[in-house]
Amino acid sequence: MSRLTSCALLLCATLGLTACETTSPVVRLDRQVNYGDAKAVELVTNEFGSTDLQMIAEKMVGSLLETGIFQGRPTVTISTVKNKTSEYIDTTNVMNSIQTTLVKSGKVRFVRSIAEMQQGVDELQRQNQSGLYKQSSTAKVGKMTAAKYTLEGELTSIVKQSTTTKDVFYKFTLKMIDVEEGSIEWQDEKEIRKTSKR
Amino acid sequence: MFATKKLILALASTLALAAQAQLDAGTPAAVAAKVALRGDAHDVRIPEMRVVRRNDILIVQADLLNSGKSDRTVFYRFRWLDNIGSQVGDGESWKQMGLLGQAQQTVKSVAPSSVVTDFRLEMNVER
């Protein structure tokens, strides 16, 4: 009886283990696709990539916070970021990363950039001119806070190529300008060299 | 609460010991406690680390010295922690740095916010 009970228990355990084989909650077809580390060093090609964007943003934010220029939480806006490289690069992405980290730091207030202004104007007009809203709840026109500083940047590159080697040198320069005085209050740059061999 | 704190401290000291065991003897124990090294250091050590709080922001500089004759590739990033040891922000991107034989380079990073009180230098070294 005891042996029979042991056998039954062993069988149950085996069946239990078989049933416990887990599968991951994914829908996958033939092609192998996986999520990777968004912060990993990307070395697929020489072209401007995610690691370059992240390194630039981290360097600029660190440099800005270190200077202490944001004492009193001044207002800042983003101006143009010129792409002077031969590649198509969405430089807005770099500035978005910088702005996100600075906003999260709580040290600075960002106000609408030129590119974002039309949406703000449209919303103000909708609230004040459509006649749909209670007067007491509408955002008033003429109450926006202007930027004390503006951030202007540019990205350049130097590309050298031989039969076996390709060398790309990127330089990102960012300036913070006092809007009223027109003076450059802070400036820094990030240099990146990427070399590939065939 | 006290037990949790003791557990965290024990875990931290275990991790520090593990890091210390892998780093070269030229890395001081106080520095090794701030380093999370994956794998072998391959002759790379950290003789000095400087930490300063400027404008209410933590700034860290670490000297990485390749005491071997062969070049090494170091992958590193700083992980920022608040006063209870929780990670602040999404974490930095990994960076790649070439370290020539018997050469020293300084890596620097600035905390993303004032709540940061501690950090770890995560790194691994490739031959």
Reduced DSSP (H G I as helix, E B as strand, rest coil) percent helix, strand, coil of chain B, to 5: 20, 45, 35
The C-alpha of A7 sits at a distance from chain B's nearest C-alpha, in angstroms, of 42
Q: What is the pLDDT of residue A8?
A: 59
A160: tokens are: 């050298």
Give the residue on A whose Cα is nearest the Cα of B107: A59
Q: Is the pLDDT of residue A19 over 80?
A: no
B26: tokens are: 């030229």
Q: What is the pLDDT of residue A198?
A: 84
Contact B52/A at CB under 8 A: no
Residues A93-116, mean pLDDT to the nearest whole number: 95
Percent of the residues in chain A that have a pLDDT greater than 70, as a whole number: 90
d(CA A73, CA B1): 36
- Beta-carbon separation of B54 and A104 below 8 A: no
Q: What is the pLDDT of residue B7?
A: 45
User: Which comes out higher in pLDDT, residue B1 or B26?
Assistant: B26
Nearest to B110 among A51, A66, A104 (CB): A66
Spatial contact of A54 and A97, defined as CB atoms under 8 Å apart:
yes
Residues A106-130, mean pLDDT to the nearest whole number: 95
Mutate: best of A66, A69, A188, A190, partner B, most B CBs <10 A: A66
CA A172 to chain CA centroid, nearest Å: 15
Kindly give the residue spans of alpha helices, DSSP state H, lying in B23-109.
29-32
Task: List, in order of start, the domains of chain B with CATH numbers.
Answer: 2-126 (2.60.40.3230)
**Per-residue pLDDT reduced to its tens digit, B80-90:** 999 999 999 98
* Confidence band of B2 (pLDDT split at 50, 70, 90): very low
- Beta-carbon separation of A58 and B93 below 8 A: yes
For domain A41-130+144-197, give the fold.
Answer: Rossmann fold (3.40.50)
Q: What is the pLDDT of residue A5?
A: 62
d(CA B26, CA A74): 45
Residues A158-174, mean pLDDT to the nearest whole number: 96
Q: Is the pLDDT of residue A189 over 90?
A: yes
The C-alpha of A45 sits at a distance from chain B's nearest C-alpha, in angstroms, of 15
Cβ partners under 8 Å of residue A122, min gap 6: none
d(CA B15, CA B8): 10
The C-alpha of A160 sits at a distance from chain B's nearest C-alpha, in angstroms, of 20
Cβ partners under 8 Å of residue A38, min gap 6: A50
User: Which comes out higher in pLDDT, residue B102 or B21?
Assistant: B102
* Confidence band of A95 (pLDDT split at 50, 70, 90): very high
CA A165 to chain CA centroid, nearest Å: 31
Spatial contact of A52 and A87, defined as CB atoms under 8 Å apart:
no
Q: What is the pLDDT of residue B71?
A: 96
- Sketch the domain layout of chain A as residue ranges: 41-130+144-197
A198: tokens are: 């065939």
Q: Is the pLDDT of residue B108 over 90?
A: yes
Q: What does the DSSP assignment read for A46-60?
A: SS--HHHHHHHHHHH
- 3-class state of residue B19 by DSSP: helix
Give the neighbor-by-neighbor strand order of the sheet with A109-110.
A109-110, A75-83, A149-161, A165-178, A184-197
Residues of chain B with Cβ-Cβ distance to A44 below 8 Å are: none
- Beta-carbon separation of A41 and B54 below 8 A: no
Q: Is the pLDDT of residue B20 over 80?
A: no
Please state the pTM of the whole predicted model. Answer: 0.84
Whole-number average pLDDT of chain A:
90
Q: What does the DSSP assignment read for A55-91?
A: HHHHHHHHHHHHHTTTTT--EEEEEEEEE-SSS---H
In this structure, of A112-126, A148-162, B7-21, B78-92, the range with the lowest mean pLDDT score is B7-21
Q: Is the pLDDT of residue B15 over 80?
A: no
Residues of chain B with Cβ-Cβ distance to A39 below 8 Å are: 77, 90-94
Q: Is the pLDDT of residue B10 over 50?
A: no
Candidates A171, A16, A27, A23; CA nearest to A85 is: A171
Q: What is the pLDDT of residue A131?
A: 94
Percent of the residues in chain A that have a pLDDT greater than 90, as a whole number: 81
Q: Is the pLDDT of residue B14 over 70?
A: no
Contact A4/B at CB under 8 A: no
Contact B51/A at CB under 8 A: no
Q: What is the pLDDT of residue A34?
A: 87
d(CA A93, CA B61): 28
* Confidence band of A21 (pLDDT split at 50, 70, 90): confident
d(CA A65, CA B110): 8
**Per-residue pLDDT reduced to its tens digit, A129-157:** 999 999 999 999 999 999 999 999 999 99
Nearest to B91 among A39, A55, A68 (CB): A39
